Amino acid sequence: MARICFVQNISYEYLGVMSLSSMLKSDGHETQVFLERGQGIERLVREVMRADPTAVAFSCTTGVHRWCLRAAEEFKKSAPDLLTVFGGAHPTFFPDIVEEPQVDIVCRGEGEEALLELAERIDQKSSFSDIRNLWVKAEGRIIQNDVRPLIENLDRLPFPDRGLYVKRYPFLNRTQKLFMMGRGCPFSCAYCFNHAFKKLYENKGTFLRLRSAENIIAEIREVKARSRIKTVYFQDDTFGLDKQKTQVFLEKYSQELRLPFICLLRADLADEGIVSRLKKAGCCRVFFGIETGSEKLRNLVLKKKLTDEQIIQAAALLKRCQIRFRTYNMFGLPNESLADALKTVDLNIRIKTDYPWSSLFQPFPGTELAQSAKEQGLLQQEDDFDPSFFKRSILRLPEIREIENLHRLFFYAVKMPFLLPFIKKAIKCKLGKCYNLLFLIGYLWSYKQSERLSLLEVLRVGLSNVKNFIFQGEERP
């Protein structure tokens, strides 16, 4: 029996980690999760080591991988023979992170079958250097195994391990529960890693895979029976890609559950049929991406393939069916001007966005847009990547300070358009942390209302990120 400890520095339940845990437990292995929670890495290491782990697993995105490397280094100081396994988006696209001395194994792509096979080999005390999806250090070299085919039948996977986080950290036991209807996205937006993921799994199976309606409903029923649930949150990148399957699911959901739910929808998929069915089934919130109010930037630079008119029509349909919506918006895009950024504000005001949400564009390495920004010489420093979407832009843009300030005041500009003339003047001023405090207040209000969370839930989880917003280092000159 292997003992796998998952370690992370963010206080959040990740469905991916819960799925890995349930897969391991289904074969008799033990799993635990440990959060840093501001206690410092050394104390975290001592806490984890008391569990006597066989391996420590990190799931990391670009930016977060730096914390993971620091933590792995401390684990190696404490127990040199302890296996460290890195998975997630960053190791998937930058597997050469395995060359770092504190990293033993990298898992690329889907991890359930690979991690289970690794646990079995550890338990058997046999070699694991040939496991597909893994890059492994063995005999003084790095063995680079190919990825296995995608998991085609998602129904055969065990349900995520819902007790993994809340058993140790009960404050994460929220009334909103996360679910996934499938895996894969057919779109190839320039700011997303999706095109690289498709390339990794070329000829390795069907990329877009959906669970059956019966399987999803069975999972929700199980969660409902075991915990207090107020809202279902479908975290799929795009809800309703298969119209026929979506219709079947919504009919069953309406008949058998009818819990209020949230989903993410592309504006060009929001026709009258799908929106009316969403409302009938109990949908209370829809989230969709505008990204930018500049149609030129949205389609030529971001390759979103979405017009202003489609966004306006989708918003009108949602308003008509009384479904509130949150929009996702980005500021600080390559070659974006302040006039472009103000178009984002204007479009959100026009469609009367219920919950305006914005972030600063992050040029994730490996994405098409990051490569374009690099070729244009827009990156200040390639290695100066921050995991936060809300602190500062790392692009060289003539009006970047004003755009950053507009991002922080975006919520107020959209919800209180009468303030816009004042905001246009205010963004040219240096108010430092005052802007960050205003942003945090708007962010937490939108977070609470759009995700139907209680004030206590927001205070427990949301305020843990205060430092990310208020204390961000030197002000831009």
pLDDT at 149: 96
Q: Which residue has the tokens 């990156």?
A: 379
pLDDT at 389: 62
pLDDT at 474: 44
For the segment 117-146, the average pLDDT, to the nearest whole number, is: 94
307 phi-psi bin (left φ>0, alpha ψ -120 to 50, beta other):
beta
For the segment 278-299, the average pLDDT, to the nearest whole number, is: 96
pLDDT at 465: 53
What lies within 8 Å, CB to CB, of 182 at 6+ separation is 154, 208, 209, 210, 211, 236, 241
| Residues 84/102, Cβ–Cβ less than 8 Å | yes
Name the least confident of 243-252, 275-284, 463-472: 463-472
For the segment 212-230, the average pLDDT, to the nearest whole number, is: 95
Strands 30-35 and 324-331: unpaired
Whether 254 shows a pLDDT value over 70: the answer reads yes
pLDDT at 468: 46
The rounded mean pLDDT for the chain is 90
> 472: pLDDT confidence band, cut at 50, 70 and 90?
very low
Closest listed residue to residue 365, CA positions, set 237, 199, 201, 192: 192
**Annotated domain spans of the chain:** 3-144, 174-470
What lies within 8 Å, CB to CB, of 170 at 6+ separation is none
Other CB atoms within 10 A of residue 315 CB: 24
Whether 342 shows a pLDDT value over 90: the answer reads yes
pLDDT at 378: 83
For the segment 80-95, the average pLDDT, to the nearest whole number, is: 94
> 63: pLDDT confidence band, cut at 50, 70 and 90?
confident
**Class of the CATH domain delimited by 174-470:** alpha beta
As a whole number of Å, the end-to-end CA separation of the chain is 56
pLDDT at 437: 83
Could you read off the pLDDT of 394-437 as tens digits, one per residue?
A: 888 899 999 999 999 999 999 999 999 999 999 998 877 788 88
Q: What secondary structure letter does DSSP report for 390?
A: S
The correct CATH number of 3-144 out of 3.40.50.280, 3.30.70.100, 3.10.150.10, 3.40.50.720 is 3.40.50.280
What are the backbone angles phi and psi of residue 12, rounded to the nearest 5°?
A: -155, 145
> 386: pLDDT confidence band, cut at 50, 70 and 90?
low
CA 374 to each of CA 22, 369, 380: distance values in angstroms, whole numbers, following the listed order? 40, 9, 9
> Alpha helix (H) ranges present in 190-271?
194-200, 213-226, 243-256
> 476: pLDDT confidence band, cut at 50, 70 and 90?
low
For the segment 359-374, the average pLDDT, to the nearest whole number, is: 85
Rounded to 5°, the CA angle 458-13-100 comes to 125
> 464: pLDDT confidence band, cut at 50, 70 and 90?
low
> 376: pLDDT confidence band, cut at 50, 70 and 90?
confident
Could you read off the pLDDT of 103-119 as tens digits, one per residue?
A: 999 999 999 999 999 99
Could you read off the pLDDT of 440-457 as tens digits, one per residue?
A: 888 888 988 898 888 888
> 470: pLDDT confidence band, cut at 50, 70 and 90?
very low
For the segment 291-301, the average pLDDT, to the nearest whole number, is: 95
Whether 279 shows a pLDDT value over 90: the answer reads yes
For the segment 143-156, the average pLDDT, to the nearest whole number, is: 96
Could you read off the pLDDT of 166-214 as tens digits, one per residue?
A: 999 998 898 999 999 999 988 888 888 888 888 999 999 999 999 999 9
pLDDT at 466: 57
Whether 61 shows a pLDDT value over 70: the answer reads yes
What is the value of pTM for the model shown?
A: 0.91
What are the backbone angles phi and psi of residue 417, rounded to the nearest 5°?
A: -60, -20
Whether 388 shows a pLDDT value over 70: the answer reads no
What are the backbone angles phi and psi of residue 35, rounded to the nearest 5°?
A: -110, 140
Whether 54 shows a pLDDT value over 90: the answer reads yes
CA 72 to each of CA 75, 83, 153: distance values in angstroms, whole numbers, following the listed order? 5, 9, 34
Could you read off the pLDDT of 27-50 as tens digits, one per residue?
A: 999 999 999 887 899 999 999 999
pLDDT at 5: 97
| Residues 132/147, Cβ–Cβ less than 8 Å | yes
